[in-house]
Structure 1
Amino acid sequence: MPTIGIVIVSHSAKIAEGVVELARQMAPSTTLLAAGGTDEGGIGTSFDRISAAVATASAGGGAVVLCDLGSAILTSETVVDFLDDADKERVVIADAPLVEGAVAAAVAAETGGDLDQVAQAASSATGVADVHADERDLRGGDAVERSTTIVNASGLHARPAAELVKHASAFQADVTVNGVDAKSLLRIMGLNVGAGSTVAIMATGPDAEAAVDELIALIDGGFGEKA
């Protein structure tokens, strides 16, 4: 399946590179490219840098572009305008917060999301202040529920949260962790679950039991981290 690449456009090269570095922790195999600063290394944007990044990132199934300030968006839109009609259909400039959007998009791309899904993941990353906004109760006749304890010393921080989302997203079942969508990175990170905390995994659907078993094993194994 063609993969979706992600381009980070910022007026600062260091900001763009930092966002890419952060997102790469959750999506090591996804194409993540920084296009920050001017050609001379100053503060601003570069048509040529953005154009080159978009061309590389969209070589698979397309590219999602995330920008920081207004002129970054304008320059990115100009880059897209210069593309052939067929290539324009494969590039989306997401209306999303730079850091949260990049992380959410990276996880969506890493788990095999298509262009629309990756762009939607970025656009929906508006923050986690209302972490229970999508809280759901999946209890019912076919629901599977188990609880376990977080053993990681740092709790459910960014990398293990991303691992949990990747594994949950591989199943058809609807899955929640402490009542929030297990396939949403921002919702999971917003739980602020620390070491020693109990988490409840609940799933419903055709592969619910397998999903719960895998997530419990993942958590009990410390997500591959040292305790």
Structure 2
Amino acid sequence: MNGHSRGSVLLRHEVGLHARPSVKLTKLAKSFQSRIDLGLSAEGPWIDAKSIVKVMAAKAPKDTELHFRAEGDDAADAVAALVGLVERDFDDGD
């Protein structure tokens, strides 16, 4: 069973996708079996959401729309979890 899933979410983090949010995002992505890509537009270019180096290099600024696409058994869960993390501002309040 190989699923495909896509989702997008607005990045509202004050400093954009810098070190701490990037670490949280890649750590969460790595907890899923699916291949997960991150894009700064719906057409890509796509980068591996499990690669901290690539995610930080994307340097997505505040108010960027982040696009996720996943392929695998837990693709839908992976996209939902990543969108949720960004929507909660990377749980930065805790």
Normalising by structure 1, we get a TM-score of 0.37
Please give the residue correspondences for 1:152-191 in structure 2 after superposition, counting only pairs within 5 Å: 152-178=13-39, 179-191=46-58
CA RMSD in angstroms, aligned pairs only:
1.2
Percent identity, aligned pairs only? 30
User: Deviation of residue 188 (structure 1)?
Assistant: 0.2
Cα distance in 1 for partners of 2:23, 2:63 equals 19
Alignment of 1:202 with 2:63, yes or no, is no
Partner of 1:221: 88
Mark the structure with the bigger radius of gyration.
1
Cα deviation code 1:38-94 (max 9, x no counterpart) = xxxxxxxxxxxxxxxxxxxxxxxxxxxxxxxxxxxxxxxxxxxxxxxxxxxxxxxxx
| Larger fraction in strand | 2
Runs of 4+ in structure 1 off by over 2 angstroms are none
Q: Would you say how many aligned residue pairs link Structure 1 and Structure 2?
A: 86
Gaps of 5+ in 2: 40-45
SS at structure 2 position matched to 1:189: helix
Aligned positions of 1:1-227 closer than 5 A: 142-178=3-39, 179-225=46-92
Q: Is the 8 A contact 1:152 1:225 kept in 2?
A: no
TM-score (norm 2): 0.87
Deviation at 1:142, TM superposition (A): 3.2
Is 2:37–2:68's contact at 8 Å kept on the other side of the alignment? yes
Preserved CA contact (<8 Å) 2:3 2:76: no
In structure 1, list runs of 5 or more residues that go unmatched: 1-140
Find the aligned partners of 2:59 and 2:36 in 1 and give their Cα distance: 18
Task: Pick 1 or 2: higher relative contact order, CA cutoff 8 A, min separation 6.
Answer: 2
